[in-house]
Structure 1
Amino acid sequence: MFATSSSAVPRRVLAAVGTAAAFMLTLAACGSSGDSSMSGMDHSTTKSSSSASATPSATNMPGMDHMADGNGLADAKDGYRLTSQDTTLPADKQAAYRFTITGRHGKPVSDFAADQTKRMHFYAIRSDLTGFQHIHPAMAADGTWTADLSALAPGSWRMFTSFTPDSGSGKGKALVLSRTLSVAGAEEKTPLPVAASSAEVDGYTVTLKGQPMAGMAHPLTVTVTKDGKPVTDLEPYLNTYAHLTAFHEGDTAFAHLHPRTKVGGGHGGPDLSFNAELPTSGNWRLFLQFQTGGTLHTAALTLKVG
């Protein structure tokens, strides 16, 4: 560090230097910006099968998808609104959740851009962060989407929609909107597992490296092994080798941890890189989805963010 006198450097030069420095700090803080129908899973996780693998695309490589703005806890943002007549759903059986995204004039939006190969990502999470489901719903001609949910446990749930309009005032802007609903029956909450750096699912071990700080971009690395050996047969899923989503304990705030590992061929692994920018401190429940042999696996672990 060095000092300069106001007489030696014109004030407008100092102002320009300050502006440039602020711009560089802003750049440094910015990070790069599933069809799976998950069965209702508890903290021990389950798996479901996927019939098709994503095909790599040069125009939508991992790390290049749009970063969603906000924590997803509102049903409206920037003139777009998530609407649904469904406020309750039955317990312990498959159910359909129907919803619409409306624009500034209250009319259904039907023009959406593909993000990681899908026009709509839909997530269901119970208030205690169990029961995670990640679905890619179908849209009817009138703009109504239908998400076919696996059996839901009784309690309070939040339904998230993640999308990017492909026309109108919000064209190219990634948005996450959500609504809550109730599933009838006696709710039995499950305590959140303690923070851990690894988790087991279907014979695989996923290990997380990295310690994000709240509100700061930070890299995370996930390593997948089986029987102590590196896994190198990860198949492309949603144009990457793994999909990582996080939800905050207490308010179920949403965060999509953006993949940085590019799809370079038919198989990948064992190391996968993500860009994490978790806005608040506390415990976050992470759900990592990866595919091998045409089967989709979901591992869950708790990450404590300072």
Structure 2
Amino acid sequence: MLFTQRSTVRRRGLTAVGFAAVLALGPAACGSSDGSGSDHSMPGMAHGTTRTASASASASPSADSGSGSDPAMGGMPGMDHMTAGNGLADAEDGYRFTGPDAAVGAARPIRYRFAISGPDGKPVTGFALDQTVRMHFYVVRSDLTGFQHVHPTMAEDGTWTADLAALSPGSWRLFASFIPDSGAGKGTDFVLSRTVTVPGAAARTPLPAAARTTEVDGYTVTVDGELMAGMTHLLTVHLTKNGTPVTDLQPYLDTYAHLTAFHEGDTAFAHLHPTTPAVGNHGGPDLSFHAELPASGNWRLFLQFRTAGHLHTAALTLHVA
């Protein structure tokens, strides 16, 4: 794989970002470190594996970091830092994300090691909790038909390790989403990215047409809400199974569902924030998100939710005016 330039995304109080990291690539057995991940066949996922891992991340927790929500944001999980930017750079304001520009064969798991460096050029080792973890790591194929979301682990020296399922031939973008808990970028949500090319014959699959409904693992997911580029709107997701409303959603990352969006063409990143915390194993059938997609066009949405201990990932194309 060849890892190249990626992007920055931040939440409330965007400050300096730019990053330097020391990484190493190697084969690895991919798995969900918390035992909740599973492989699922998703619509439009023909070129990428869909393994999703949910794990606690850092080996060096910060004493003053937490996952509580900001009262100013109405007590919404993940809303204590607002997101901005598009995640398409590998450095900003002194923080840098780097990884090996190494070719990796397709059809085998990957252990990707990377680091985030701060304005002083040293690896950052203190990260705040963001929806129960200290690092969100996304892997997205350039045509948006492959997606992984994992939570890597960090060594004491600041080196992160992300276990990824095999990637099909083609171009992929890797996103590191994190919040420093000290230094110039304290409290700033950064999303930095790099690209990697997996060698081999790469067939590009057209993005599935925009639709309000999709299915995964027997569940029907319906999205409601009219979105306009650059404006914040409420997006509602409704889940049913065999025509019956789903009411047994289990907590996942401090809420009942995690929703991420990527823009067709440039793979720009957007995180959509849930509006209600998870309390007990009885979430659903309606889930609400604050959505602000900065550009018009098609966005590929990936919704992750858990039932009966299994993590499901639904993919859907949404058009934004």
Q: TM-score range by the shorter chain?
A: 0.7 to 0.9
Q: TM-score, normalised by structure 2?
A: 0.79
1:156–1:182: 8 Å Cα contact kept in structure 2? yes
Residue of structure 2 equivalent to 1:142: 157
1:98–1:147: 8 Å Cα contact kept in structure 2? yes
Q: Which moved more, 1:92-101 or 1:62-71?
A: 62-71
What residue identity is the alignment partner of 2:114?
F
Corresponding position: 1:214 with 2:229:
yes
Corresponding position: 1:162 with 2:177:
yes
Displacement of 1:185 in angstroms is: 0.7
Equivalence map 1:32-51=2 (5 Å): 39=39, 43-44=43-44
Displacement of 1:77 in angstroms is: 1.3
1:265 pairs, out of 280, 296, 301, with 280
Residue of structure 1 equivalent to 2:136: 121
Greater helix content:
1
Residue of structure 2 equivalent to 1:98: 113
Q: Secondary structure at the match of 2:82?
A: coil
Partner Cα separation in structure 1 for residue 135 and residue 127 of structure 2: 8
Displacement of 1:67 in angstroms is: 2.1
Partner Cα separation in structure 1 for residue 316 and residue 120 of structure 2: 41
Partner Cα separation in structure 2 for residue 261 and residue 248 of structure 1: 25
Equivalence map 1:283-298=2 (5 Å): 283-298=298-313
Q: Which moved more, 1:82-91 or 1:231-240?
A: 82-91
Call closer, same or farther: CA 1:289–1:211 in 2, change over 3 Å.
same
Structure 1: stretches of 5+ with no match in the other structure: 1-29
Displacement of 1:211 in angstroms is: 1.4
2:235–2:289: 8 Å Cα contact kept in structure 1? yes
Structure 2: stretches of 5+ with no match in the other structure: 1-10, 13-31, 57-65, 70-75
Q: Secondary structure at the match of 2:128?
A: coil
Query: 4+ residue runs of structure 1 moved beyond 4 angstroms?
Result: 34-42, 44-53
What residue identity is the alignment partner of 1:43?
P
Partner Cα separation in structure 2 for residue 172 and residue 143 of structure 1: 18
- Paired residues in the alignment total 272
Q: Secondary structure at the match of 2:137?
A: strand
Deviations 1:27-65 (A, max 9, x none): xxx99xx95656586634586587889xxx982452534
1:49–1:294: 8 Å Cα contact kept in structure 2? no
Q: TM-score, normalised by structure 1?
A: 0.83
Corresponding position: 1:112 with 2:127:
yes
Partner Cα separation in structure 2 for residue 208 and residue 245 of structure 1: 13
Higher Cα Rg, which structure: 1
2:38–2:310: 8 Å Cα contact kept in structure 1? no
What residue identity is the alignment partner of 2:115?
T
Residue of structure 1 equivalent to 2:197: 182
Residue of structure 2 equivalent to 1:22: none
Q: Secondary structure at the match of 1:208?
A: strand
Partner Cα separation in structure 2 for residue 81 and residue 105 of structure 1: 11
